[in-house]
A and B are shown apart, each in its own frame.
Chain A
């Protein structure tokens, strides 16, 4: 296959993956990795390397739109990034220790969970407003607009949320994905934050988490320019079109 044909096919597939990722809320990474491995017989390590680069691009690109809504919580995000970045370092380190076979199985499980979570959607309407000493000293609270005016929320179960975030970071570093679904699980389910606050804050965190494993991926040679280039440009363009379409619905 010529370089031109190969690059074009990868670009088109990535465009479609980005579109699908944005429309379903799964994210581009979780779609493009299996596509590269199964359709193009790309080694899993090159696939997760290209995907990780893409994850940084799409989440940073989308952050601008989310900030306008004013729902993401910068302190909760930063505090939990301590957990996700440490987890990401561990995950990136583990990619060299664990067999590709096991990584593929884990990938399937995360993909299924993400699909389940994205179709389940929001689960709780009632805000929990109980203050906990830990959340108060860490300023893990904020206000959220409701039909009856702005209401204050406070993070619950902070250690549990922090722990799940560490796991989300590990998965991100191990699989080269944003693992947004697991981040939302930690904030929405465990910490009882409003759903919209969870999703927008999660998006804000994804880029920083991915950057933590990217350095190690670079050192190992997982990020190959020839394959990362069409994947990044394709997914970025696809998810931009996808989020425009999603807004029009």
Chain B
């Protein structure tokens, strides 16, 4: 494997970020169209916070719901994908630094990656 420059690394990351954001925006948009299938229902009130009783929670549940074209699940899938995008970015950096044989920065990126995975597991449980 040849080494790559920082610039090449950033360009591949930027392409990945754009792809992740675009795909997630499309999913959220499709979910939004499904969500507005019954446009004349009364909007829920967001004035008081209620911890979600029926949890999003669980990537498997979101995927199942999205396959059944459940509007909220499709939107949530888009949001999960969006949150995953910067995490994949950090993974790209680990690979990039490894190819540059920069062990210190492989370690630093791995630490950031571990923090992100910790948080994501909290949410995706």
Q: Give the B-binding residues of A (Cβ under 8 A).
A: 1-7, 40-46, 53, 56-57, 60-61, 63-64, 66-68, 70, 72, 74-75, 78-79, 81-82, 85-86, 88-89, 92, 138-139, 207-208, 210-221, 223-230, 232-233, 236
Other A-B pairs, 19, CB within 8 Å; known A6-B43, A236-B21: A3-B42, A4-B39, A5-B43, A42-B46, A44-B49, A53-B79, A67-B10, A68-B14, A72-B10, A78-B105, A81-B90, A82-B108, A139-B102, A139-B104, A208-B86, A215-B116, A225-B76, A229-B28, A233-B25
Task: For residue B98, give the distance in angstroms from its CB to the closest CB of chain A.
Answer: 13
Which chain B residues border A219 with CB–CB below 8 Å? 57, 122-123, 125
- What chain B residues lie within 8 Å of A82 (beta carbons)? 108, 111-112, 115
Kindly provide the distance from the CB of B68 to the nearest chain A CB, expressed in whole angstroms: 15
List 16 interface pairs A-B (beta carbons < 8 Å), by A numbering. Answer: A3-B39, A6-B43, A53-B79, A60-B82, A63-B14, A70-B7, A79-B108, A139-B104, A207-B17, A207-B89, A215-B116, A216-B122, A221-B55, A229-B28, A230-B32, A233-B28
Question: Which 4 pairs, one residue from A and one from B, show the smallest C-beta to C-beta distance?
Answer: A218-B123, A215-B119, A215-B123, A221-B52
Cβ contacts B55-82/A at 8 Å (1 or 0 each): 1110000000000000110011001101
How many B residues have CB within 8 A of the partner chain? 68
CA distance A215 to B114 in the complex (A): 13
Taking a contact as CB atoms closer than 8 A, the residue among B9, B49, B75 that contacts A74 in the complex is B9
A67 touches B28 (CB 8 A): no
Residue B121 CB within 8 A of the other chain: yes
**Residue from the list B6, B35, B71, B123 in contact with A214, Cβ < 8 A:** B123
- Establish whether residues B36 and A7, one from each chain, have CB atoms under 8 Å apart when the complex forms: yes
A residues within 8 A CB of B20?
60
Residues on A with beta carbons closer than 8 Å to the beta carbon of B29: 233
Contact A211 B43 (CB under 8 A): no
Bound complex: CA A208 to CA B109 (Å): 11
Task: Check if A221 sits within 8 Å of B17, measured CB to CB.
Answer: no
Determine whether the beta carbon of A7 is less than 8 Å from that of B51: no
Inter-chain contacts of B122 with A (CB < 8 A):
215-216, 218-219
Question: Which of B115, B118, B121 counts the most chain A CB atoms within 10 A?
Answer: B115
| Cross-chain contact A225 with B72 (CB below 8 angstroms) | yes
Least CB distance, A31 to chain B, in whole angstroms: 18
**How close is B47's CB to chain A, nearest CB, in angstroms?**
5
Contact between chains at B13 and A216 (CB < 8 Å): no
Task: Determine the chain B residues whose CB is within 8 A of the CB of A85 once the complex forms.
Answer: 112, 115-116, 119
